[in-house]
Amino acid sequence: MKLKCDREEILQALQMVQSIVSSRATLPILSNVLIEAGDEELTLTTTDLEVGMRKTIKAKVTKKGAITLPAKRLLAILRELPVSEMTMEATDQREIVIKYDASYFRVLGLPKDDFPPLPDFLKHRALKTPQKPLSELIRKTHYAISTDESRYVLNGLHLIFSKGRITGVATDGRRLALCEIAANVPEGFDRGIIVPTKAVNELGRILSGDGDAEIFVGENQAAFSANGCTLVARLIEGHFPNYQQVVPQKSEHKLLVDREELLAATRRVALLTSEQSNSIKVTLKKNRLVASSNTPEVGEAREELVISYAGEEFSIAFNPQYLVDALKNLDDKEITLELTDSLNPGVVRSGKSFLYVIMPIRVS
């Protein structure tokens, strides 16, 4: 293998793929990045066996070949190089020399045969969809994914492909975020998958710009491709809970609320909660929404928002973080807050595409 490439370009590519390399990988090969030189291009691949990531860039290849190198170390070297172009030449299966001017680095790696191959998705049919809405879908739902490892079906984002749309759902059993985007889903592509948290986060990173992303779904894996970068993820097997059943069919009160005002008020009121008493009270009064907290040994806070409301006065308590998570990831100026009473779930809607259900906190 011998090639010449632009330092900035390979550095960016490596930064993109190295994030899934675990610093505590149990297998040494998983700390490495696979570097493959093909026709006029260079491909970098990393994996932790759950997620794999691949990025291709241009390079002047004089001799094809492949090798794996320690990802973090290579990244550190590339960061420090003072030049814009350098050559890389493999001297044998497990050694590479990086040269510029009169300087060189001889880096030891492992042969490429030890590297677990990523499954090939080209044979699958692709779903093409613009990146921007997909990236929004992820931003508006990812925070609700459960972090409790023992409930593994909830440790991911549930993506449902159906005619004309993609629906994303995430829940941790206490709140649920749902976002729908329009998409040209090909016939026969209908299905639901659960993409694990790590892959969701990586996917959020690779989506940028206005171009299309491609989605491939296999038996146990899925691949997402955008901007020359491909992410392959092992899917979570199992049945995602029936989320439709937790969405309240009807709420008594529908309120239009300024999103940023509510977000800011919630954040401020939450300052006077504690780990043990982590709830804020939302009280509806005539044309007022009052957010308040009252924590023994801490203090109390109260904020008022002007809204249009004419019903009976009542209160409901929420974990403020749950409200903040949703509100800060939305864009609309106004959201709809739907409440019934202090025991029934609260609902946040933004436009036609976003829905968020929060279970209240009760005080026994």
The contact set with other proteins (CB under 8 A) reads 22, 24-27, 29-30, 47-50, 52, 115-119, 146-152, 171-176, 218, 220-221, 232, 234, 236-237, 241-242, 245-246, 275-279, 317, 319, 343, 345, 357, 359-364
Chain centroid to CA 214: how far?
Answer: 16
Which residue, 293 or 329, is less far from other proteins as judged by CB? 293
Q: Write out the E strands in 218-298.
A: 221-226, 229-234, 253-258, 280-285, 288-295
- The least CB distance from residue 345 to other proteins, in Å, is 7
303 DSSP β-pair partners: 291
Residue written as tokens 């549930």?
A: 158
> Nearest approach, Cβ of 173 to other proteins (angstroms)?
5
**48 vs 214, which CB is nearer to other proteins?**
48
Count other C-beta atoms under 10 Å from residue 359's C-beta: 17
Strands of the sheet containing 165-171, edge to edge, are 191-196, 156-162, 165-171, 175-182, 354-358, 346-350, 334-339, 253-258
Instruction: Give the Cα separation of 361 and 210 in Å (integer).
Output: 41
- In whole angstroms, give the CA distance from residue 198 to residue 141: 14
CB-nearer residue toward other proteins: 100 or 152:
152
- Tell the smallest beta-carbon distance from residue 25 to other proteins (Å): 7
Q: How long is the chain?
A: 364
- Tell me whether residue 184 or residue 344 sits nearer to other proteins (CB atom): 344
Q: In terms of CB distance, is 65 or 345 closer to other proteins?
A: 345
Residue 188 C-beta: closest distance to other proteins, Å: 22
Q: Give how far Cα 62 sits from Cα of 9, 33, 97, Å.
A: 18, 21, 15
* Identity of the residue, 87 or 201, whose beta carbon is nearer to other proteins in the bound complex: 201
Q: Are 46 and 25 in contact (CB under 8 A)?
A: no
Distance CA 337, CA 100 (A): 61
**Could you give the strand order of the β-sheet that contains 60-63, starting from the edge strand earlier in sequence?**
60-63, 2-6, 85-92, 95-100, 103-108
- Nearest approach in angstroms of CB 346 to other proteins is 11
Shortest gap between Cβ of 241 and other proteins (angstroms)?
6
- The continuous run of DSSP H or E covering 131 comes out as helix 131-141
| Closer CB to other proteins, 44 or 232, in the complex | 232
Minimum distance of other proteins from residue 301's CB (angstroms): 17
Burial label for 297, CB within 10 Å (0-12, 13-18, 19+), is exposed
Smallest gap from Cβ 38 to other proteins, in A, equals 20
Q: Which is nearer to other proteins, 46 or 135 (CB)?
A: 46
Comparing CB distances to other proteins, the nearer of 316 and 335 is 316
Minimum CB separation of residue 55 from other proteins in Å reads: 18
Q: Are strands 354-358 and 346-350 parallel, antiparallel or unpaired?
A: antiparallel
Task: Pick between residue 240 and residue 309 the one whose CB is nearest to other proteins.
Answer: 240
Rounded to the nearest whole angstrom, what is the least distance from the CB of residue 243 to other proteins in the complex? 8
Are 69 and 96 in contact, with CB atoms under 8 Å apart? yes
Place of tokens 């994996």: 47
d(CA 62, CA 4) in angstroms, rounded, equals 8
